[in-house]
């Protein structure tokens, strides 16, 4: 019997802009549940070691943004980037990159990442606990396809990147679709 892995049910603490708040910082807390992001949709989630880090900021996140429309053609309803960073950092990162399409999910406590089995120590970089790089296609909260970088480990000296790249995920989605209709 195949047991399909479900994404964990957690609460994410996000910060959203609220024009009814006066002053220089018109943002408020907005709690989101896993089901708000993953329920009733077919989405991609990818996770990385940290906001503003070079590979993530130069390649992985901008490339998911650039290829967003191509993913939509493969029946993907949303793309989420999760990082073990708080909502303030994630919002600042999204603003710095001018993100319009990919949504950032702050997993500041690492609870989602830990329950996904992807939490690793990055004390060798002074980062504390962070996410191993992975991507997944999630269909109504259930993992449909899984893309995990090799070498899952604490304090890894390298930062493998390729399996979870948007190019590889997109190619796989296209191949699976082609195989299904052949």
Q: What are the catalytic residues? A: 56
Q: Which of residues 74-93 bind ligand BEZ (CB under 6 A)?
A: none
Q: Is residue 125 within the footprint of ligand BEZ (CB under 6 A)?
A: yes
Residue 7 or 81 with smaller CB distance to ligand BEZ:
81
Tokens of 143: 């993992």
Vertex 48, ends 73 and 42: CA angle to 5°?
A: 30
What three-state secondary structure class fits 154? coil
Asked if 172 touches ligand BEZ (CB under 6 A), the answer is no
Smallest distance, ligand BEZ to C-beta of residue 150, A: 16
Round to whole Å and give the CA distance between 131 and 98: 23
Among 159, 160, 168, 172, binds ligand BEZ (CB under 6 A): 159
Q: Which residues 38-57 are close enough to bind ligand BEZ by CB under 6 A?
A: 49-50, 53-56
With b for 16 or more beta-carbon neighbours within 10 A and e for fewer, the 51-77 pattern comes to: bebeebbeebbbebbebbeebeebebe
Contacts with ligand BEZ by CB under 6 A lie at 49-50, 53-56, 125, 159
């Amino acid at each position: 019997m195949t047991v399909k892995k479900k994404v964990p049910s957690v609460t994410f603490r996000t910060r959203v802009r609220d024009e009814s708040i006066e002053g220089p910082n018109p943002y408020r807390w907005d709690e989101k549940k896993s089901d708000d992001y993953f329920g009733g949709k077919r989405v991609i989630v990818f996770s990385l070691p940290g906001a503003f880090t070079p590979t993530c900021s130069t390649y992985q996140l901008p490339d998911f943004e650039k290829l967003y429309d191509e993913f939509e053609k493969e029946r993907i309803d949303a793309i989420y980037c999760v990082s073990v960073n708080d909502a303030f950092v994630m919002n600042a990162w999204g603003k710095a990159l001018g993100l319009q399409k990919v949504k950032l999910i702050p997993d500041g406590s690492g609870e989602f990442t830990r329950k996904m089995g992807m939490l690793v120590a990055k004390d060798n970089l002074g980062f504390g606990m962070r996410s191993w790089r992975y991507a997944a296609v999630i269909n109504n909260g259930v993992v449909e396809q899984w893309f995990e970088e090799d070498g899952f480990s604490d304090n890894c000296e390298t930062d493998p990147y390729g399996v979870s790249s948007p190019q590889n995920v997109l190619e796989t989605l296209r191949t699976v679709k082609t195989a299904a209709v052949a």
